[in-house]
Structure 1
Amino acid sequence: MPRISLSIMRERALSWFLVPIAAVLSSSTGTNAAKAKVVDDGTVIQNVTIISPERSAPLAHAVVVVRNGRIAEVGTDLVAGAHAKQFDGRGGFLIPGLIDSHVHVGNMGPLNDDEIEKHPDLLDVYRAQLPRSFLAFGFTTLVDLNLREETLDWFNATRIHPNLCHCGRGVHVVGGYGAQHPPKDAASATAANIVYEPDQAKDWPSNLDPKDYMPARAVDRVANAGAICLKVFVEPGFGGAAHWPVPQPATLAALRAEASRRGLLLVVHANALESW
């Protein structure tokens, strides 16, 4: 009987040990593959890393299924079918849409009135790009805290844009921040959402009926615009740079009570220490 070297015996023993393991692994892989669920509709984002606040750690190699604009399924055992719209997320990260809770979409940024008058096409280009820029940085919801009248129309008319929530037009007092010049007529007062302040009775425009500018009416204007919040400006002058009147505690209390009754969140612009 021929002699078998120790090295040959080791090789054979190793092969006898590894072959069953390979068979088990192969069987296990086949079982996992059989369990994979085929998703044959909607939009399927494959092989992406999910980072989300409800998870203690990123979920790698994940599959996300979107149906009717909403996330329907998330897992690592999903496979896109032939009829699903597929995106390869390899090397990318998927996060929940961010919310920017303080924007002024109607402000024209780098464009001033003179430039807009000379080059109106620049305004069109700016407005077309702005919603896409928010989306490019992950912001899918915005809250405009001092909405301009025309903003919703042009913003929502863009082909793709974030959800735009707002506080309507911020509430001002005559002569205060944002309303330094007394309104010349009812249309101007409504556009600035002026609220009547009893302490300013002697300076109140004679052509405006105070009853139309009580706190409840200011809140009405905001609620009727479809707002989710009410913003009030309490700005005495940015550290002494100016000296403006501000809403008095009784007026603020009335605005707060009415906002609460209408289901609106109260937001106060109060930069100065004395405003607190």
Structure 2
Amino acid sequence: MLRKITSALAVAILCQQAPAADVLIENVTIVSPERSQPLRSQWVLIRDERIAQISSKPIDAKGAQRVPGAGKFLTPGLTDSHVHVSDAVGLPQGAHLSELKPLTDAFYRQQPRSYLYFGVTQVLDLANVPEAIAAFEAQPQHPDLLRCGATMPLDGYPSVFVDKPLRYTAMPDYIYEPANAAKHPLPEGADAAAHTPEAIVDRIAASGAACVKIFIENGFGDSSDWPVLSKESLQRLRAAATKRGLPILAHANALDMQRIALDAKVDVLAHGLWNWGPASGKPGVPPEIAAHMNRIHKSGTGYQPTLRVLAGTADLFRADTLEDPTYKKVVPAPLLEWYRTDAGQWFKKVMKQNYGDLPDAKIASMELQIGEQGMRAARYLHDLGHPLLLGSDTPSAPTYGNQPGYDTYREMRLMATAGIPLLDVFRAGTINSARQFRWEKTYSTVATGRVANLLLLDANPLDSIRAWSQIDKVVLRGKVIEREALAADR
């Protein structure tokens, strides 16, 4: 696993721009997640895109770009380990093929800068759409990107939302199970041998992906008729991924689905537990939920709370969402205006069908109540001593409530609201992800030899979660960028 991920990291770094000139950050306070306390009055020299030297005394660096650090706080850049860069937030499927193409183009140009605007210097994409990955990396300023290859059962989630036969070309890495052929026959012209767990993992590995994303989802709400991979297929998938050195991340947010994922020995649960099944609505952390969280902790399975999923849906029904002044920083002006139109409210109309005539405020409240269960579960798991992973799942649905970068920050805010201490929220977005995915020697700390993806903050993030919105400068592979230069063009 280590060899595969470090190889992918090397490619991500080599694909960036030529090395910047030396940079010297002077007299700064270092806040790094392996330390419980800040390190004050430090000089940090950056050379060839990496941290070359850290000293408590001034460093003689002739010709270096000097960055005053007095009164500032230097941290590693954040890692959002659950994003989907192929999805244009709030726009319908196929928008790039319609009159909305200028809006999708504007979104994709701004998307990488929006992540950087909120200090996200590394992202892990869980969809692996080659054209979207290329478009993201073609932008002059973008976070380092790693990616998973995604697979699902034939006709399973999320391919169920794409009409046949287009789904088989749009999402070709499906697993065919002969035992389910009566309900889900092999598509015409497809080769069964190319759709075994082993063949799919081999194809994902050959694509250069650093991990495998699987979907364990039998339906939303009261529905449960979507196919889920059999125990045998999951065992074969696990064996094939282990052989290839690829970790497995699982979409699973309901109690029964997460139990299947744990039985399959996945490496990371890519969603928090907010769907409690029969335990939903109970106060505190019910015994069956507590037992499940204890099992996660005992197994050492990675855990992404993804608290913004339900909150992002609730934002559709809040009257003030599109008036949030931060949206002007991360959303291109024409797209923001389109969100306000009747056409731009399309997904809200879809969601409202599930709620009948209930007022918007009530719908938002109901979504947030479900999401609050996920907050309680995350806090319980943290209190067991389990390291959490920062993953915003941006966008989790076609809601304009999930904006790149801003949602990473708001995910951190929700973690803090749930009672996660600020140091552990910091670690979730830095060293925990690095350790989970074996890139701690590349990112996640302010230390010599690490890639110089850094943030210069105006406030101490160990004092207030809002410090993560008070970014002065972003250092991306040794290049210093003023934060406001990353804001959306108005």
* TM-score for both structures, normalised by structure 2: 0.45
* 1:190 to partner: Cα distance: 7.4
1:259 corresponds to which of 209, 223, 241 = 241
| CA–CA separation in structure 1 for the residues paired with 2:62 and 2:211 | 45
The residue aligned with 2:59 is 79
Q: How many residues align?
A: 234
Aligned residue for 2:142?
161
Residue from 229, 237, 253 that aligns with 2:219: 237
Moved beyond 4 Å, runs of 4+: 113-116
CA distance in 1 between counterparts of 2:200 and 2:95 reads 34
Match of 1:67 among 28, 38, 47: 47
Structure 2 distance, partners of 1:141, 1:134, is 9
Shift of 1:253: 0.5
Q: Which has the larger radius of gyration?
A: 1
Q: Is the 8 A contact 1:42 1:65 kept in 2?
A: yes
CA contact (8 A) 2:85 2:133 kept: no
In the alignment, residue 112 of structure 2 is paired with which amino acid?
P
Name which of 123, 126, 133 aligns with 1:152.
133
1:91 aligns with 2:85: no
Q: Which amino acid aligns with 2:103?
A: L
Task: Provide the C-alpha distance between the structure 2 equivalents of 1:142 and 1:97, rounded to a whole number of angstroms.
Answer: 11
SS of 1:101's partner is: strand
RMSD, aligned α-carbons: 2.2
Distance in 2 of aligned mates of 1:96 and 1:153: 25
- Check whether the contact 1:100–1:142 (CA below 8 A) recurs between aligned residues: yes
Contact 1:100–1:143 (CA<8 Å) still a contact in 2?
A: yes
> 2:196 matched to 1:246?
no
Instruction: Tell me how far apart the structure 2 counterparts of residues 172 and 163 of structure 1 sit (CA, whole Å).
Output: 26
Residue type of the alignment partner of 1:200: N
SS at match of 1:154: helix
Q: Return the match for 1:211 from 171, 193, 199.
A: 193
Cα distance in structure 1, aligned partners of 2:214 and 2:94:
30
Retained in 2: the 8 A contact 1:238–1:271? no
Structure 1 residue 109 displacement after superposition: 0.6
Amino acid at match of 1:240: D
Confirm or deny: 8 A CA contact 1:45 1:86 kept in the other structure.
yes
Report the Cα distance in structure 2 between the residues aligned to 1:172 and 1:91, rounded to whole angstroms: 50
Residue equivalent to 2:124: 143
Q: 2: distance between equivalents of 1:98 and 1:46?
A: 22
Cα distance in 1 between the residues matched to 2:201 and 2:61: 51
For residues 272 and 81 of structure 1, do their structure 2 counterparts lie closer, same or farther at Cα, with a shift above 3 Å needed? closer
Alpha-carbon contact 1:44-1:80 (below 8 Å) kept: no
Change (3 A) 1:179 1:111: closer
The answer to which structure, 1 or 2, has the higher relative contact order (CA under 8 A, 6+ apart) is 2
Structure 2 gap segments, 5+ residues each = 1-20, 260-490
Q: Which residue of 1 aligns with 2:410?
A: none
SS at match of 1:64: strand
Match of 1:51 in 2: 31
Residue range with higher mean Cα deviation, 88-97 or 73-82: 73-82
Q: 1:189 to 1:254 in 2, by over 3 A?
A: farther
Matching residue of 1:100 = 80
Q: Deviations over 1:150-184 (max 9, x none)?
A: 1221011111111111112x111122111226753
More strand by share: 1
Q: Does 1:178 align with 2:178?
A: no
Identity %: 38
1:134 is matched with 115
The answer to whether the 8 A contact 2:45-2:59 is kept is: no
Amino acid at match of 2:130: E
Letter in 2 for 1:145: L
Gap regions ≥5 residues in structure 1: 1-40
Any idea what the Cα deviations from partners look like across 1:22-45, whole Å, max 9, x if unmatched? Answer: xxxxxxxxxxxxxxxxxxx82101
Matched, 1:221 2:221: no
